[in-house]
Structure 1
Amino acid sequence: MDVAFVFLIAGIIIMAGFFGNVFFEKTKISDVLLLLCIGIFLGPVLGLIEPQILAPFAEYFGTLALIIILFEGGMDMDIDKLLKEFGTASLLVLLSFTISTVSLACFLHFVRGWDLLLSLLLGAILGCTSAPVVIPIINKMGIKEETKTLLSIESALSDVLAVICTISLIEIITLGYIGIKTPFRTIFSSFSIAIVLGLVAGLFWLKILNHFSARKYAYMFTLAAVLTTFGAVSFLGGSGAMAILVFGIILGNSHDFSKFLKIKNTSLVNSTIKFFHGEMTFFIRTFFFVYIGMMVSFSWIDLDFVLCSLALLLIIVVVRYMSVGVTVALYPEKKNDRGLMMSMLPRGLASAVLATLPASANIRGSEYFTDLTFAIIIFTNLIMTVGVFVAGKKEPTKGGH
């Protein structure tokens, strides 16, 4: 492909992302579907880029998008609201992810006749909501800060659970029986390591910024620390994504930790760092959704595929309805947010990347995973778009940005 043409397309994509953002602010209609459609148009429709060419880069580009967006989400969280909403978010994610994974697996095993472990594997891949979709959307909505925090935490925890469970199941399938306790130990260990190291890294970086925050390239220096933290925590067996969320929370609430660290400057993460990271988030997020669209393949689409996709979607919607219902029953103060909470079920980054792993591990029967996952990504983002539009009309101003 000609270099000039590549840059022409890149410029058009960035412009589409900008106007999609403006369109969202005016109408409350999400720009996610617009970006996905651009990707589908450039990839499967025009055939400018083959999905097979993009697949090897999905893990790297997807991980970068997750890092950038979770860091921004963490910086935007108020630690007092985080502590208040953590219990609610944990309940919601456990109900939603666990019941979704089991229900999807039961359908695939008992109705479709799939192998049980293979069914659980796809169930785990499709069981999580997407932080890179949810966090940017709710941050642009005029909703209560408590609701933003709740949904941000839920989507971040959901992504991490999906990654750990999927990798554990792949190991069970490829290596044989490794014990029922192993996945639970892995989850506990991964979260513990991530939270401790993310906290330590965040506090350490506040001390560093106390000396360098006013210097040129402070943002790039901080971005380097974010990437280093993710890599180091992942290498040590922790969840890099969770560590980055904690790292962002520490930096975003620097004023609360300044006294503890004996730092006089209470605004270490200045407007310059937040401004540049916001621009970076927009850039990565825009190309990410176009990238996801370009990876969609229509090669397997037939009536059976459509019916299976719709059945999986129905299960996801019903489980979300039940999970939110139980959460609202236990936390009645969330009653007014029920509609928005129900619509925040989009699948995205984690599911797209994880769907490629079974085939890479040569697991027989996983050939349909990618196509079914992309179908669910599109359908759930459509539902979210409708839900956000309705919520935006009902609650035009309730705090937020």
Structure 2
Amino acid sequence: MEGVIISLAILIFLSHLFSAMFVKTRMPEVLPLLLLGILLGPLLNIVSPADFGMVDQVFTRVLLIVILFESGLGLRISQIRSTWEQSSRLTLISFVVIMCVVALLSKIVLNLHWAYAVILGSILADNSFAIIIPLISKLNITNTTKTVLLTESTIGGVISIVVTITLLNMAKIQSFDVSLIVAKIIYTFMVACITGGAAAIFWTTVLNKVRKLENGIFLTLAFVLVVYSVCETLGSDGSIGAFIFGIVAGNIRTIRKLHGFKFIERFTMNVKSKAFNDTEKSFFSEVVFVLRTFFFVYIGISMQLSSLYSILCGLLFTLVIFMARIPTVNYVLEKSVSRIDSAVTSIMVPKGLVTAVLASLIMQSGVPGGVILQNTIYSVILFSIILATLLSFFIEKGWGMPAVNFLFKRHREFYPDAIPAPAAKKVEIGHQQKHLIAKDR
């Protein structure tokens, strides 16, 4: 028992150490956590997934609920309003393209039934919000592009969850009627929006009283779990309800000023400031951080290195996803977007927490060949993080400019205030040389 407790403590210390490495290396902390899990599991056989018993199923669901709530809480309607058209277009088209490409490839390589091939495609069409943030933090791109990327990863994650869970439910009853699937998705969103929105309005009105209770900060997370349960009881998806709850609660002051929502104002008159203060947001973020730490180590432990075929399939899927993303971004983004911004957008397809959680749901749903699919998805997560990190580093150093200029030549060359530092220096030197030549003449 003492060994387990000290191991948990060491993991938390290591996760904070890996997080601090962002500042200098910009390497996502989930990568060393994955590698640590691989070391503890497949390589040294110190621990195995069987040691966790049934805990992983409950843990997976709770983690999905909390991360979606926290993601919704951090989504600002005022920030995405100006880029909504471009963000939504990129999100939908990129999601459909990658889902179709992965589905076709999985049909050929893994010989999956079309239904399960599409499920795999919807899982791998998600981009990780938590991994994209540190990758773009040091890249000199415009704030508009950053907003587009963060909006895409957030909304794309929700779409991935809804489509995947809906298709898995259809698979259980052996019915893949397109009209039934569309109706189920619409119903899921409607119930989740109504339930999550109403719950958020109620909770923001009583939050000031809740804060007066001892350890009241935990009650918000408990209420989110209640919202999840109500949505599930009504035949919707509770995780989407938690996401809507977070969005409405985090943007209550903005929403009540919108046309058609002003009736909310009389219910939220006591909400004078932000619904959640900085202390509460930091607490929610820390909870996600700790849960994410253990989960990514668990993923590494669960990877089966003996299945070379699954690993190679994961590498193939990763390369194909990155290749499919390039022309999609090239023609979906407006020509006014710079080549550097377009290049950065094209490589921001790393897979992360949502993808891993949905991979676990495949195993729990009893999908035929679920072990192979799960291990393939875990391999894609590992390879996509590595590839996105390397490519962003090359772009930052200006080493990939010839390829960037060739692949995105339909876009403008650069923004004066949004190009990698090395490239910026070259441009600046070039302007100085032209100025001196002109002066000599």
The alpha-carbon deviation at position 6 of structure 1 amounts to: 0.7
How many residues align structurally?
Answer: 391
Is the 1:14–1:283 contact (alpha carbons within 8 Å) kept by the matching residues of 2? yes
Q: For 1:40-189, what aligned pairs fall within 5 Å after superposition? A: 40-54=38-52, 56-110=54-108, 113-131=111-129, 133-134=131-132, 146-189=144-187
The alpha-carbon deviation at position 84 of structure 1 amounts to: 3.0
The alpha-carbon deviation at position 334 of structure 1 amounts to: 7.3
Is the 1:254–1:268 contact (alpha carbons within 8 Å) kept by the matching residues of 2? yes
SS across alignment from 2:148: helix
Q: Which residue of 2 aligns with 1:352?
A: 356
Q: For 1:320-331, what aligned pairs fall within 5 Å after superposition? A: 320-329=325-334
Q: Which residue of 1 aligns with 2:431?
A: none
Answer yes or no: is 1:272 the counterpart of 2:270.
no
Distance 1:87 1:196, change over 3 A: farther
Which one is further off, 386-395 or 106-115?
Answer: 386-395
Answer yes or no: is 1:338 the counterpart of 2:342.
yes
The alpha-carbon deviation at position 119 of structure 1 amounts to: 2.5
AA aligned to 2:316 is A
AA aligned to 1:88 is Q
Is the 1:55–1:356 contact (alpha carbons within 8 Å) kept by the matching residues of 2? no
Identity of aligned residues (%): 29
Instruction: Measure, in 2, the Cα distance between the counterparts of 1:174 and 1:274.
Output: 38
Instruction: Measure, in 2, the Cα distance between the counterparts of 1:38 and 1:177.
Output: 41
Instruction: Measure, in 2, the Cα distance between the counterparts of 1:64 and 1:135.
Output: 23
Instruction: Measure, in 2, the Cα distance between the counterparts of 1:113 and 1:11.
Output: 43
The alpha-carbon deviation at position 374 of structure 1 amounts to: 1.1
Distance 1:139 1:187, change over 3 A: farther
AA aligned to 1:276 is F
Is the 2:37–2:299 contact (alpha carbons within 8 Å) kept by the matching residues of 1? yes
AA aligned to 2:59 is F
Is the 1:35–1:290 contact (alpha carbons within 8 Å) kept by the matching residues of 2? yes
Larger radius of gyration: 2
Answer yes or no: is 1:249 the counterpart of 2:253.
no
Answer yes or no: is 1:382 the counterpart of 2:389.
no
The alpha-carbon deviation at position 146 of structure 1 amounts to: 4.8
Is the 1:328–1:334 contact (alpha carbons within 8 Å) kept by the matching residues of 2? no
The alpha-carbon deviation at position 217 of structure 1 amounts to: 2.2
Instruction: Measure, in 2, the Cα distance between the counterparts of 1:142 and 1:224.
Output: 40
The alpha-carbon deviation at position 378 of structure 1 amounts to: 0.5
Instruction: Measure, in 2, the Cα distance between the counterparts of 1:242 and 1:358.
Output: 18
TM-score for the superposition, normalised by structure 2:
0.78
Instruction: Measure, in 2, the Cα distance between the counterparts of 1:146 and 1:232.
Output: 37
The alpha-carbon deviation at position 328 of structure 1 amounts to: 1.4
> Which structure 1 residue ranges, 5 or more long, are not aligned?
397-401
The alpha-carbon deviation at position 14 of structure 1 amounts to: 0.8
> Which structure 2 residue ranges, 5 or more long, are not aligned?
258-264, 398-418, 422-441
Distance 1:353 1:285, change over 3 A: closer
Q: For 1:201-350, what aligned pairs fall within 5 Å after superposition? A: 201-256=199-254, 260=265, 261-263=268-270, 265-301=272-308, 304-329=309-334, 332-333=336-337, 337-350=341-354
Instruction: Measure, in 2, the Cα distance between the counterparts of 1:69 and 1:308.
Output: 28
AA aligned to 1:328 is L
Is the 1:29–1:388 contact (alpha carbons within 8 Å) kept by the matching residues of 2? no
Is the 1:30–1:388 contact (alpha carbons within 8 Å) kept by the matching residues of 2? no
Distance 1:132 1:57, change over 3 A: farther
Is the 1:40–1:294 contact (alpha carbons within 8 Å) kept by the matching residues of 2? yes
The alpha-carbon deviation at position 322 of structure 1 amounts to: 2.7
CA RMSD of aligned residues (A): 3.1
Is the 1:352–1:374 contact (alpha carbons within 8 Å) kept by the matching residues of 2? yes
Deviations 1:222-272 (A, max 9, x none): 121222222222332333333323322333334446882222632442222
The alpha-carbon deviation at position 306 of structure 1 amounts to: 4.5
Is the 1:219–1:273 contact (alpha carbons within 8 Å) kept by the matching residues of 2? yes
Deviations 1:343-388 (A, max 9, x none): 3212233333333445544444444211211111111111232355
Instruction: Measure, in 2, the Cα distance between the counterparts of 1:178 and 1:186.
Output: 11
AA aligned to 1:83 is R
The alpha-carbon deviation at position 395 of structure 1 amounts to: 6.5
Is the 2:21–2:27 contact (alpha carbons within 8 Å) kept by the matching residues of 1? yes
Distance 1:359 1:18, change over 3 A: closer
Which one is further off, 102-111 or 146-155?
Answer: 146-155
The alpha-carbon deviation at position 93 of structure 1 amounts to: 2.3
Is the 1:134–1:344 contact (alpha carbons within 8 Å) kept by the matching residues of 2? yes
Q: Which residue of 2 aligns with 1:197?
A: 195
TM-score for the superposition, normalised by structure 1:
0.84
Distance 1:61 1:146, change over 3 A: farther
SS across alignment from 2:46: coil
Answer yes or no: is 1:36 the counterpart of 2:43.
no
Deviations 1:287-306 (A, max 9, x none): 222122111112311xx444
Is the 1:219–1:277 contact (alpha carbons within 8 Å) kept by the matching residues of 2? no
Distance 1:115 1:70, change over 3 A: closer
Is the 1:43–1:294 contact (alpha carbons within 8 Å) kept by the matching residues of 2? yes
Instruction: Measure, in 1, the Cα distance between the counterparts of 2:256 and 2:175.
Output: 49
